């Protein structure tokens, strides 16, 4: 990890929870200005708007909340209360400074989330289901803490979606655990983006827990 600097390619190359914690501890302080603004990052906006358009409401868990970019959009759209969860304590510290979250939950999603069953009416995630991060194996942990009828809006990097077999997992879940699945595709970055990933897209998995 010592040779990986805080940038998108280092994030995509992460392997272990310890790697995640180290990189995001370094990146937290200038993530909003040093990455999101410079790269014209738009995915959090698309995800939050899709959640609201689908009828999503609080209480909401913002999964992989980072510095709170998606949560800020949700709050601006009138959604609340919102809790944040992330593997990085430093990222959560930045998120809580925005004064939009009710609570911060430090957790490794692959190990589950320390909250009771049926806690949330909505689950939102922007930028966490991507290369070097979460795969489809994290979905059961999210379904456990969602109430029956809870609205989900999970962005999934399009290449990661194919590589990590999300289609098969989501199809299996439609056999009794989720319903009304749609997968709109959006651009991750805006027109000002200039990097090698500027044309990347994501699918937003919209569905409800049965």
Architecture of domain 8-209: 3-Layer(aba) Sandwich (3.40)
Sorted by where each begins, the domain ranges of the chain are 8-209
Spans of the chain, pLDDT less than 50: 1-15, 19, 21, 24, 26-29, 31-32
Q: Give the tens place of pLDDT for each residue, 115-136.
A: 999 999 999 999 889 755 678 9
C-alpha 178/C-alpha 165 separation (Å) is 17
pLDDT at position 15 is 46
Report pLDDT digits (tens) over 9-27.
Answer: 434 444 455 645 455 454 4
Tell me the C-alpha to C-alpha distance, in Å, between residue 158 and each of 8, 120, 135, 205.
Answer: 16, 26, 12, 11
Q: What distance in Å separates the CA atoms of residue 89 and residue 104, rounded to the nearest whole number?
A: 9
Residue with tokens 């925005």: 98
Provide the pLDDT for residue 109.
87
pLDDT on residue 7: 40
């Amino acid at each position: 990890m010592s040779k990986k600097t805080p940038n998108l390619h280092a994030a995509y190359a992460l392997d272990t929870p310890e790697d995640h914690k180290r990189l995001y501890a370094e990146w937290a302080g200038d993530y909003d200005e040093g990455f999101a603004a410079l790269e014209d990052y738009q995915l959090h906006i698309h995800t939050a708007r899709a959640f609201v358009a689908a009828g999503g409401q609080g209480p909401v868990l913002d999964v992989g909340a980072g510095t709170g970019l998606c949560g800020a959009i949700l709050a601006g759209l009138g959604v609340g209360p919102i809790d944040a969860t992330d593997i990085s304590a430093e990222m959560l510290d930045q998120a809580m400074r925005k004064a939009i979250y009710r609570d911060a939950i430090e957790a490794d999603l692959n190990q589950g989330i320390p909250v009771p069953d049926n806690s949330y009416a909505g689950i939102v995630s922007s930028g966490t289901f991507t290369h070097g991060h979460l795969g489809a194996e994290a979905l059961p942990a999210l379904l456990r803490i969602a109430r029956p009828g809870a609205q989900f809006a999970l962005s999934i990097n399009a290449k990661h979606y194919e590589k990590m077999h999300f289609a098969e997992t989501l199809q299996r879940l439609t056999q009794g655990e989720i319903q009304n699945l749609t997968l709109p595709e959006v651009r991750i970055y805006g027109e000002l983006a200039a990097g090698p990933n500027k044309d990347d897209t994501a699918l937003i998995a919209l569905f409800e827990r049965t």
